[in-house]
């Protein structure tokens, strides 16, 4: 009993801010500024707030930017990391250990530290303020290489040999044998990659100025700055719209999310 009491109250504290946000997003301005508080509005104003949020700022655009950028990053990461991970796991060649050491060094570097040179790089390439700038710095992931290498290493050599005898090319082995076998790792990695880039604010803040190109995290604070102070209802509605996709995805696929994020902690 005590257990439920404690856990329910901590859960209430944790959900409080989100519940409060939703509550405000349902209320008309008059009720928001009233001194007494209640969870549910007296006068339902949800439709107005959410419509307002969607028309004032390109929220759907932010979300679709997020989807485009995250999926492009993920696709590039898999296309680039899987072959090198396979080479590191299964092929013998000179310099292999040195390259793996390089991957480990990459794993050690926090991305914020690299922001400055990467900004200069994107500037020189003339891709600042474009999708390319959002994607380019992340198309290779040392963690992805590391993770896939671990997985590929654990597959039996026999399987690779059988594939060679059957006529697969090395690239075919990577993408048609190894990757499907490493499916749990691929899913976990995908979730880790998507959540971290969906939520990332630091790099988009540096790389993007144009509102139409902003991913969700950056978009929502631009929206906030434009709406500042006055219109709490639509602002909360906007924040809720930005928060919803990941939270819903998490609740729908908890097990995968937990696995993916736990994997990330060993980074």
Residues 38-77 that bind other proteins (CB under 8 A): none
CA distances (Å), origin 151, targets 81, 148, 157, 171: 12, 5, 13, 17
Residue list 179-208, contact with other proteins (CB under 8 A): 180-181, 183, 195, 198-199, 201-202, 205-206
Q: How far is the CB of 247 from other proteins (least distance, A)?
A: 6
User: Which CB atom, from 51 or from 79, has the smaller least distance to other proteins?
Assistant: 79
The region of 46-54, 67-75, 132-140 touching other proteins under the rule CB under 8 A is: 132-140
- Among positions 97, 124, 165, 230, the unique one binding other proteins when judged by CB under 8 A: 165
- Among positions 26, 69, 118, 213, the unique one binding other proteins when judged by CB under 8 A: 118
Identify whether the C-beta of residue 176 lies closer than 8 Å to the C-beta of residue 191.
no
Task: Give just the sign of the alpha carbon dihedral 230, 235, 237, 240.
Answer: negative
Could you count the other beta carbons within 10 Å of the beta carbon of residue 48? 15
d(CA 210, CA 127): 13
d(CA 126, CA 132): 10
How is residue 175 written in tokens? 């993408």
User: Which CB atom, from 56 or from 99, has the smaller least distance to other proteins?
Assistant: 99
Q: How far is the CB of 115 from other proteins (least distance, A)?
A: 7
User: Which CB atom, from 74 or from 84, has the smaller least distance to other proteins?
Assistant: 84
Check residue 166 for interaction with other proteins (CB under 8 A). yes
- Among positions 153, 164, 212, 226, the unique one binding other proteins when judged by CB under 8 A: 164
User: Which CB atom, from 51 or from 171, has the smaller least distance to other proteins?
Assistant: 171
- Among positions 56, 68, 71, 139, the unique one binding other proteins when judged by CB under 8 A: 139
Residue burial 136-169, b: 16+ Cβ < 10 Å; e: rest: bbbebbbbbbbbbbebbeebeeeebeebeeeebe
Q: Long-range contacts for 179-185 (Cβ within 8 Å, ≥24 apart)?
A: 179/78, 179/82, 181/151, 181/155, 182/148, 182/151, 182/152, 182/155, 184/259, 185/147, 185/148, 185/150, 185/151, 185/263
Q: How far is the CB of 108 from other proteins (least distance, A)?
A: 5
- Among positions 140, 187, 211, 253, the unique one binding other proteins when judged by CB under 8 A: 140
Q: How far is the CB of 224 from other proteins (least distance, A)?
A: 5
The region of 43-51, 67-75, 126-134, 258-266 touching other proteins under the rule CB under 8 A is: 258-266
Q: How far is the CB of 212 from other proteins (least distance, A)?
A: 18
Task: Give just the sign of the alpha carbon dihedral 91, 95, 106, 114.
Answer: negative
Identify whether the C-beta of residue 142 lies closer than 8 Å to the C-beta of residue 106.
yes
Q: How far is the CB of 47 from other proteins (least distance, A)?
A: 20
Check residue 135 for interaction with other proteins (CB under 8 A). no
Q: How far is the CB of 45 from other proteins (least distance, A)?
A: 15
């Amino acid at each position: 009993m005590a257990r439920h009491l404690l856990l329910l109250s901590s859960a209430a504290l944790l959900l409080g801010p989100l519940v409060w946000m939703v509550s405000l997003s349902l209320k008309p301005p008059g009720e928001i500024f009233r001194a007494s508080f209640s969870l549910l509005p007296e006068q339902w104003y949800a439709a107005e707030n959410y419509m307002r949020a969607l028309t004032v700022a390109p929220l759907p655009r932010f979300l679709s930017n997020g989807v485009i950028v995250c999926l492009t990053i993920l696709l590039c990461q898999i296309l680039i990391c899987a072959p090198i991970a396979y080479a590191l796991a299964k092929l013998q060649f000179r310099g292999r250990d040195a390259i793996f050491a390089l991957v480990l060094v990459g794993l050690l570097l926090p991305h914020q530290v690299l922001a400055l040179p990467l900004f200069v790089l994107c500037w020189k390439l003339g891709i600042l303020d474009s999708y390319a700038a959002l994607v380019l710095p992340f198309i290779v992931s040392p963690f992805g290489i590391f993770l896939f290498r671990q997985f590929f290493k654990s597959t039996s050599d026999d399987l690779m040999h059988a594939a060679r005898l059957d006529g697969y090319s090395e690239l075919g082995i990577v993408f048609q044998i190894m990757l499907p076998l490493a499916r749990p790792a691929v899913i976990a990695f995908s979730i880790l990659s998507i959540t971290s880039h969906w939520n990332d604010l630091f790099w988009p803040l540096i790389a993007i100025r144009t509102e139409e190109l902003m991913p969700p995290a950056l978009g929502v604070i631009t929206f906030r700055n434009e709406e500042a102070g006055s219109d709490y209802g639509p602002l909360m509605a906007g924040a809720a719209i930005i928060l919803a996709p990941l939270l819903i995805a998490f609740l729908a696929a908890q097990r995968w999310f937990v696995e993916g994020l736990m994997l990330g902690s060993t980074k």
